[in-house]
Amino acid sequence: MSKIVYLGFLVLISILIGWTICHLFKLNFKSVLERVLYCSGIGFGILGYVVAAIGTVGLLYKGVIYIILLLIVGMCVAVNIYLSGKPCIIPHKIKISFLWEVIRNTVLSLRAKPLYGLLCFFLFCQALIYYIDALSPPTAHDVLAYHYLLPLHYIKNHALAPIEGLAQSFWPQHSECLYALCMFIKGDILANHINYLCGILILLSMCLFIGLQSPLVALLALSFFFMQPVVSLAIMGSGNEIFFVLYFLLSVYAFLNWTKSHQKSWFVISALMVGFSLCCKHSGIILLFLLSLFFIYVLYFKQRLRLVSVLGTTVLFIFIALLIVSPWYFRSYWLTGNPVYH
């Protein structure tokens, strides 16, 4: 039970951080789900960099972590109060009465359509099985070999010190930094929990793509996705794939929002999420390449913009994404002479 409390604590901090960033960028959200997903994703990304920054200067101590987190919370609250002009950082749309109304309408809908209820029950059972596994110590090879070994090594040395002979210690360490944060607070089981939570966030992100206008299609797609062996292995084995996929989905959805609304903030958020995906795995460069091609296609062939403007926008997108991941590439270059050391 204490793990859930600590997980809720981390989630609230990440949402508060993401909420502040979204407030600064003046993002317009179409639903509460969309807001929560982006606030959580941005918050996790920034928390990973906070831990990395503390570890880089050799101050990776529990007391320092707690002080920095308190300072971040205080700063976010102050910024939100300043921007909103009143001491309230939670908008009226996410009050208890609103959430209760959503739950009530959902229950009534499931009672009226038994097939929906059956699919929801199947998803609940799958989620419960995965959660039970999250309560047990990790056993997967990759997790023990470096995903959890590296955070424990960082905690022991109070710094982001690489392990000689372990190539993975020179790769981008975003997920490992989040795991280190969890281990500082409540051990490796809490690290399992944050990986599990990101798996749930992926399912909710898929709902954004499918759309709540077609709940049957959404439930069928989620059920099919959730039962795939590779998905179950990723959720039950705390690696970096879950974070990578979450940022991947959020970046693509932000890109689609930008093409529809032309709000510049969505453009920046999409590039930001691509950068975070690169901080998880080098293969995020594939996402960057594909989205860049899609940029050119949409702007040049659909919106009929000038080629110079299209190329300029695409280069700016790539620049922002690479700027986000550049500290990890610089670290790898500094230690090995190769920014993408393998």
What pLDDT digit, counting tens, does each position of 215-271 carry? 777 778 888 888 888 888 888 777 889 999 999 999 999 998 998 888 899 999 999
pLDDT reported for residue 102: 52
pLDDT reported for residue 278: 95
Q: What is the mean pLDDT of residues 67-96?
A: 74
Per-residue pLDDT tens for 140-154? 888 888 899 999 999
- Is 25 in contact with 267 (CB distance < 8 Å)? no
Confidence at 91, pLDDT banded by 50, 70, 90: very low
Integer CA distances (angstroms), 256 to 208, 213, 274, 297, 332, in order: 11, 18, 14, 13, 33
- Residues above pLDDT 70, as percent of the chain: 90
pLDDT reported for residue 174: 95
Residue 92 has pLDDT above 60, yes or no: no
Residue 5 has pLDDT above 60, yes or no: yes
- Residues above pLDDT 90, as percent of the chain: 44
pLDDT reported for residue 88: 47
Per-residue pLDDT tens for 259-314? 888 889 999 999 999 999 999 998 889 889 988 898 888 888 888 888 888 889 89
Q: Which candidate, 214, 37, 240, 33, places its Cα nearest to that of 222?
A: 214
Confidence at 59, pLDDT banded by 50, 70, 90: very high
Q: What is the mean pLDDT of residues 304-328?
A: 91
Q: In terms of pLDDT, which residue wins out, 101 or 23? A: 23
Helix then strand then coil, % of the chain, to nearest 5? 80, 0, 20
Per-residue pLDDT tens for 157-170? 999 999 988 999 99
Least confident of 30-39, 81-90, 211-220, 223-232: 81-90
Q: In terms of pLDDT, which residue wins out, 40 or 301? A: 40
| Amino acid code (one letter) for 221 | A
Residue 122 has pLDDT above 60, yes or no: yes
pLDDT reported for residue 40: 94
Question: CA 66, CA 42: separation in Å to the nearest integer?
Answer: 20
- Is 202 in contact with 245 (CB distance < 8 Å)? yes
pTM for this one? Answer: 0.90
pLDDT reported for residue 87: 47
Residue 97 has pLDDT above 60, yes or no: no
Q: Is 254 exposed, middle or buried (0-12, 13-18, 19+ CB in 10 A)?
A: buried
What is the chain's mean pLDDT, rounded? 86
pLDDT reported for residue 28: 86
pLDDT reported for residue 31: 82
Integer CA distances (angstroms), 198 to 41, 118, 203, 226, 240, in order: 9, 24, 9, 13, 11
Q: Is 302 exposed, middle or buried (0-12, 13-18, 19+ CB in 10 A)?
A: exposed
